[in-house]
Chains A and B, each alone.
Chain A
Amino acid sequence: MRQDDIGQTDHADRRDEADLIARCQGGDLSAFNELTVRYRNQVFAITYNAVRNEQDAWDLAQETFLKAWRNIGKFRGQASFFTWIYRIAVNITIDSLRRKRIESGVEFDETAASGAIEPGAVTVPRSEPQPHRQLESREIQARIDAALEKLSPEHRLAVILREVDGLSYEEIAETMESSVGTVMSRLFYARKKLQTLLKDIYDTI
């Protein structure tokens, strides 16, 4: 869901959602079930984009909703429910990635992933451009998926939160529990890497 989509949620929907949340806070599980139906796809997308594994993403999405249920009493409505659960999903996913990294003994190195790219560096396509060929949307999707796969989970999340979900630097920093500078750094390197991998596509379509 994009930020402007969230903004387009009409007043009745918000009131309905506020009512559902109030019922959840009173222990009504059927109301929570309804909220889950509304947001399960977005939450799953967040977790899947980070871990790129359906089973792990499913488990993390489950953990996200479980944590939301346990903490629904603390939800005060300052942010929208979606933003709130979004943050929970990102936190749970990042925690899980950190745990896995510690278990495997591999630490992610921001600079190692960067390859010392200069701001004005020319982005070279990995494959030759094919201007005469109209790429099928499925093929484009697969190419983008493959390119995203090559990023670290943190870089991938940052670029998706910014480019696809339209979050501001501050919102990304808050959801990812990092500084705005770190978010900008991740965006910079993620974009450079993706430009290298996808130039032939966005130059063609």
Chain B
Amino acid sequence: MNNETYTEEATLDTGAPRPEVAAGPKPAGAPATSPNHVMETRNMSIYYGDFRAVADVSLGFARNEISALIGPSGCGKSTVLRSLNRMNDLIASARTEGEVHYHGTNIYADGIDPVRVRRTIGMVFQKPNPFPKTIYDNIAWGAKINGYRGSKANIDDLVQEALEGAALWDEVKDKLQESGYSLSGGQQQRLCIARAIATKPDVILMDEPCSALDPIATLRIEELMLELKRDYSIVIVTHNMQQAARVSDKTAFFNVKLNETGMRTGRLVEYSPTEQLFTSPNEKDTEDYITGRFG
């Protein structure tokens, strides 16, 4: 009646709130190269001067999927995101160790120009930041500075395409010459998305894109993300777990721990399909975080 042998597929021990087996740290994510991955990080650590902000992250992002990075403040998820298009280079003291592969090429290798990297890996920021220009110029500028050769009519088409792709065309098609600042917050963020996709990137990085927006605007952007993933691969940082649950295909949970020297370093704890991570996560830390039992 007890302890009979039985076959089991993967027995997954979960952290239930009652006395449980302590779950040991498991290697999170798959470090092996997968042909379906558009980007991969391999043992990446990021330092600000001597301070190790993020340690040993190995993650793979699949094509045409939305991957979410979640975790408490200070866990380094934004830092990891910014390393994917070398925006950390703009911070003087930032240093990246390990590799970040884009279609098999390490973007941190010597001789790789970060300007090139950023053209194919675009970014949308937390607070909408359109340029103080007209709506039209906001979108056309990115293309022009990258050497767009088309005529005025071509640029008009490009602007319309980008705005349609960002679900903003109908709302602004009659006021393209007005300032970008004349739009509401949610519209401005969609303008920033349109601006990012105007340069025809491959990957779009979004750093808490909805945290400055009201719930309706947030939902519209989430809908937009689900449409965009047909053509782009998206990585999003969010502190809203429900948003990660709604839009992402896979979710990575980062946690920050004090180590021996008193430094708070962020680490990747778990990287799983979203549905699994939010109903039965592998790691106790993840379980504690998503149920709010986190300190």
Q: Are A and B subunits of one complex?
A: no
